[in-house]
């Protein structure tokens, strides 16, 4: 990054400082962090950025990896790449104003020419993923066809699984020396912090137990209750009123932004809480125009979460490599559109890998048609899981039961 005279007919990105508090998994303060970022919304498409897409790992992929880790008794390791985006050289010409507090007094109107990617730039996540994935492919890894953020290294009987989520990495292997060699190469190539055993990843708390591994979001759920000002609320036994069907009719809620924010937060909480998936999907259908009744249904979910803070997913060693899938449907469950709700839960042994509660895209003429659509949706997810396991060199011993 250097200072240049402001070029004519060029877009100039605005920078800003971001200050945040980093917490440990137990809620205590880890460190105070300051980072200079770019205001990406000031960029112009086709001028200082082009492609922006960067893949995001599926929650089911994480659960499959953790299930295999427990069953094979492999050591899960967690890595964090420091200032990951700064490792990428930009292909576009991007100019940015001088950072607040560091303006050159002799040339206050000069701008910075960014040579490397910067946090906040629209193309930064995609450029970082391309750089990191290219490095892994050169090392001999293969990218999974089922999930592009899963990389597998297979050498004879040795296996390494690597999951990437922006700058957070989860890696495990059946060969401890090969795993240590990989971590050493990553550390030499990038400024990588080895966090040792996996215990806190993307807000997910992983705890080793005598039975296997327990995955939860208790601290995150506690923060959500504080944000919603429902920390002292009375717990309830169910996340929804039985046979309740929300409708578009009713008085509007006076704070739609709060409603959308809390629904999005609950959607992330549902990563480890399949027991709220159906209720969250139901209230998520009215984010464009929430009503008072929708907010009351949202508050009930928080009341339920208050009494189930310690709930989560348990992964235990499976004795047989068999997939068992359950499917169900609620015919014409939507009172406004008359569309049905499909749901499924898919297990590998005793470990829940994937689940869903989703409104069907079209209206079904009968309950039989509804069930067939739900079965088709479940079968597609099962097929995807089989492809994922194949990429991980895990092969099923029998046909899947649906």
Stretch 138-146: mean pLDDT, rounded? Answer: 92
Give the total number of structural domains in the chain. 3
Residues 197 and 221 in one domain: no
Q: In this structure, is the dihedral angle defined by the CA atoms of residues 183, 187, 190 and 193, taken in order, positive or negative?
A: positive
Is 353 in a helix, a strand, or coil? strand
Looking at residue 402, its pLDDT comes to 92
Predicted confidence (pLDDT) per residue in 303-352, tens digit: 999 999 999 999 999 877 899 999 999 888 878 888 999 999 999 988 99
Residues 251 and 285 in one domain: yes
Looking at residue 93, its pLDDT comes to 85
Residues 112 and 133 in one domain: yes
In a domain, 178, yes or no: yes
In a domain, 398, yes or no: no
Band (8; pLDDT cuts 50, 70, 90): confident
In a domain, 396, yes or no: no
Stretch 168-174: mean pLDDT, rounded? Answer: 90
User: Please, which residues bridge with residue 23 across strands?
Assistant: 29
Q: What is the pTM for the complete model shown?
A: 0.86
Residues 303 and 385 in one domain: no
Predicted confidence (pLDDT) per residue in 29-65, tens digit: 888 888 888 888 888 887 778 877 778 888 899 999 9
Angle (CA) 396-399-400 rounded to 5° is 90
* Rounded distance between C-alpha atoms, residue 125 and residue 90, angstroms: 12
Looking at residue 198, its pLDDT comes to 84
Which token pair is 228?
A: 């919603």
Last residue of a domain, one of 312, 328, 361: 312
* Rounded distance between C-alpha atoms, residue 114 and residue 4, angstroms: 11
Stretch 182-194: mean pLDDT, rounded? Answer: 87
Which token pair is 265?
A: 């937060």
Domain holding 67, by residue range, is 2-208
Predicted confidence (pLDDT) per residue in 233-290, tens digit: 899 999 998 777 888 888 999 999 999 999 999 999 999 999 999 999 999 999 999 9
Residues 224 and 200 in one domain: no
Residues 289 and 329 in one domain: no
Residues 93 and 155 in one domain: yes
Predicted confidence (pLDDT) per residue in 107-133, tens digit: 888 888 888 888 888 888 888 888 889
Judge whether residue 366 has pLDDT over 70: yes
* Rounded distance between C-alpha atoms, residue 340 and residue 369, angstroms: 10
Residues 85 and 113 in one domain: yes
């Amino acid at each position: 990054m250097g200072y240049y005279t402001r070029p004519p007919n060029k877009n100039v990105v605005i920078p800003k400082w971001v200050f945040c508090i980093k917490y440990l998994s137990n809620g205590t303060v880890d460190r105070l962090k300051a980072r200079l970022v770019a205001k990406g919304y000031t960029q112009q498409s086709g001028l200082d950025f082009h492609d922006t897409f960067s893949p995001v790992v599926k929650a089911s992929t994480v659960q499959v990896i953790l299930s295999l880790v427990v069953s094979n008794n492999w050591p899960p390791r967690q890595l964090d790449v420091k200032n990951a985006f700064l490792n990428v050289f930009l292909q576009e010409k991007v100019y940015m104003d001088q950072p607040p507090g560091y303006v050159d007094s002799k040339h206050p109107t000069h701008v910075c020419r960014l040579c490397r990617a910067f946090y906040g730039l629209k193309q930064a996540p995609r450029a970082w993923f391309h750089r990191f994935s290219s490095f892994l492919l050169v090392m001999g890894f293969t990218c999974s066809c089922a999930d592009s953020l899963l990389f597998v290294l297979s050498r004879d009987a040795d296996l390494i699984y690597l999951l990437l989520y922006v700058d957070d990495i989860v890696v495990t292997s059946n060969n401890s020396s090969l795993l240590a060699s990989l971590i050493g190469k990553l550390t030499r190539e990038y400024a990588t912090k080895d966090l040792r055993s996996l215990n806190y990843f993307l807000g997910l708390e992983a705890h080793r137990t005598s039975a296997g591994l327990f995955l939860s979001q208790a601290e995150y759920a506690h923060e959500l209750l504080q944000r919603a000002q429902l920390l002292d609320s009375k717990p309830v036994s169910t996340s929804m009123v039985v046979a309740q069907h929300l409708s578009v009719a009713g008085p509007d809620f006076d704070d739609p932004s709060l409603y959308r924010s809390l629904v999005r937060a609950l959607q992330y909480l549902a990563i480890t809480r399949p027991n709220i998936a159906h209720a969250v999907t139901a209230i998520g259908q009215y984010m464009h125009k929430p009503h008072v009744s929708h907010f009351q249904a949202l508050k009930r979910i928080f009341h339920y979460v208050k009494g189930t803070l310690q709930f989560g997913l348990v992964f235990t060693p499976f004795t047989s490599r068999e997939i068992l899938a359950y499917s169900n449907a609620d015919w014409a469950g939507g009172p406004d559109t008359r569309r049905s709700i499909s749901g499924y839960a898919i297990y590998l042994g005793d470990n829940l890998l994937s689940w869903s509660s989703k409104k069907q895209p079209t209206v079904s003429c009968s309950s039989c048609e509804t069930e067939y659509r739900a079965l088709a949706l479940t079968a597609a997810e099962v097929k995807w899981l089989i492809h994922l396991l194949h990429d991980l060199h895990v092969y099923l011993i029998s046909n899947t039961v649906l």
